[in-house]
Amino acid sequence: MIQSLARRKRAKVFISYCALVPFLVFFLFPLYWMLITSFKTDTEITSLKGVPLIIQGKPTLAHYKKIFFETAYVTWFKNSFLIAGLVTIITMAISILAAYAISRLRFFGSRHFGVGVFCTYLVPPTLLFIPFYKVVGALGLLNSKWSLLFLYPTLTVPFCTWILIGFFSSIPKALDEAAFVDGASYIQMLWKVFLPVAAPGLIAATLFAFTVSWAQFLYPLAYIYRENEMVLTNGIYTTLIRGDVYFWGELMAGALLASIPVVVLFAFLMDYYIAGLTRGTLR
């Protein structure tokens, strides 16, 4: 009886692994396809002979060399880092203060304000990019990467504030009372108790702010046409396609390299990311 239970359990695991395989193939195939393409020579990419699913000829780094030395790729990378980094800092500063005030220092209208934050977090970029075009233009920031510096926070701040409200609210009330009795001011309470205790939430929010900024495509595509001001997403897309000529090798190399920072961040901070995502959505 016991043996058969154990055997059944093992069978269940085995079947589950089998069922997982199609999903993994579906999820990973495009990435694999991008990866091998980026190492194939141009002739092999366009050749119709043989099996395209493997690298048949000699792998080459030509595409990587080309994006690094013949395009503005390095500049885009720098721009992406600069913008995503600054946006993250701005986002965290705004979100931490707001989330702390909303979740703890109850003030007139704080509940409604929380709902308002949630609603703005549901506003997708496609809804407002047209009026933003005028706003960006009025500020003289068309064709400038700095325009992104105040557009991205409209996407990151509401979400980060929302998940931080969640994390802050889960800190037991007695903890601030203890700090209060211990003689902490509101700022000391935030700095010395809330931030360290809600560290997982802060990590998650930081990660979100960075990845969302890194991945944004519509805003840079709509407002930035000068190559040196571009970020990775629109840079790769707009400059590696010349009319009908697609530089597949360069495109794949550029897209993969550009994905690495966020995927690596995710790999190291997966648990925080998932906790933040599920709590931000479900609370």
Partner 1 sequence: MAKVILENVSKNFGRVQAVKNFSLEVDDQEFLVLLGPSGCGKSTTLRMIAGLEEVTEGKIYIGDILVNDLPPRDRDIAMVFQDYALYPHMTVYQNMAFGLKLRKRPKEEIDRRVREAAEILGIQELLTRKPRELSGGQRQRVAVGRAIVRQPSVFLFDEPLSNLDAKLRVQMRAELSKLHNQLRTTIIYVTHDQVEAMTMGTKIVIMKDGEIQQVGSPMEVYNYPVNVFVAGFIGSPAMNFIPATLVQLEDGVWLDAGNFQLLLPPSKAERLQDLKERRVLCGIRPEHIQDKAFASKRPKGSTIEGIVEVVEPLGSEVFLSVRSGGHTLTARVDPQTRAKPNEKIELVLDTDRIHLFEQETQRRINTE
Partner 2 sequence: MRSIASVVNRKSSPSFLKILRSRRYAAYWMVLPLFILIVGLVVYPFCYSLYLSMLNKSETKWVGLKNFGRLLGYGTFWLVVGNSFRFTLIAVFFKATLGLALALILNNLPLAGQRLWRGVSMIPWVMPLALSSLGWWWVFEPTHSAINWVLVQLGGTPKPWLSDPFWARVSTIVTNIWFGTPFFMIMYLAGLKSIPESLYEAAQIDGAGAVQRFRYVTLPMLSRLIAITVMFSTIVTFANFDIVRILTRGGPRYTTHLFGTYAFNIGIEAGHLPRGAAVALFMFPVLGLAAFFILRNIARGEE
Binding span for partner 2 by CB under 8 A among 59-67, 71-79, 112-120, 164-172: 112-120
Question: Min. distance of Cβ 61 from partner 2 in angstroms?
Answer: 19
Give the C-alpha distances (Å, rounded to integers) separating 257 from 73, 250, 262. Answer: 10, 10, 10
Question: Min. distance of Cβ 25 from partner 2 in angstroms?
Answer: 11
Question: Min. distance of Cβ 279 from partner 1 in angstroms?
Answer: 18
Q: Which is nearer to partner 2, 41 or 120 (CB)?
A: 120
Q: Which residues 6+ apart lie within 8 Å of 75 measured at CB? A: 227, 228, 230
Question: Min. distance of Cβ 143 from partner 1 in angstroms?
Answer: 46
Nearest to 220 by CA among 206, 210, 212, 230: 230
Q: Which among partner 2, partner 1, none contacts residue 130 (Cβ within 5 to 8 A by kind)?
A: partner 2
Q: From the list 141, 157, 205, 230, which residue makes contact with partner 2 (rule: CB under 8 A)?
A: 157
203 in contact with partner 1 (CB under 8 A): no
Question: Min. distance of Cβ 106 from partner 1 in angstroms?
Answer: 13
In angstroms, the CA 104 to CA 100 distance is 6
In angstroms, the CA 212 to CA 278 distance is 16
Q: Which among partner 1, partner 2, none contacts residue 236 (Cβ within 5 to 8 A by kind)?
A: partner 2
Residue 218, classed as helix, strand or coil, is helix
Q: From the list 35, 72, 94, 197, which residue makes contact with partner 1 (rule: CB under 8 A)?
A: 197
In angstroms, the CA 80 to CA 87 distance is 10
Q: Which among partner 2, partner 1, none contacts residue 124 (Cβ within 5 to 8 A by kind)?
A: partner 2
Q: Which is nearer to partner 2, 39 or 100 (CB)?
A: 100
Give the C-alpha distances (Å, rounded to integers) separating 94 from 111, 156, 230. Answer: 18, 10, 26
89 in contact with partner 2 (CB under 8 A): no
Q: Which among partner 2, partner 1, none contacts residue 199 (Cβ within 5 to 8 A by kind)?
A: partner 1
Q: Which residues 6+ apart lie within 8 Å of 190 measured at CB? A: 96, 100
In angstroms, the CA 62 to CA 11 distance is 48
Token readout for 56 is 């048949």
Nearest to 92 by CA among 167, 175, 171: 167
169 in contact with partner 2 (CB under 8 A): no
Q: Which among partner 1, partner 2, none contacts residue 179 (Cβ within 5 to 8 A by kind)?
A: partner 1
What single-letter DSSP state applies at residue 244? T
Residue 108, classed as helix, strand or coil, is coil
175 in contact with partner 2 (CB under 8 A): no
Token readout for 121 is 């977090």
64 in contact with partner 2 (CB under 8 A): no
Residues that bind partner 1 (CB under 8 A): 172, 174-175, 177-184, 188, 192-193, 196-197, 199
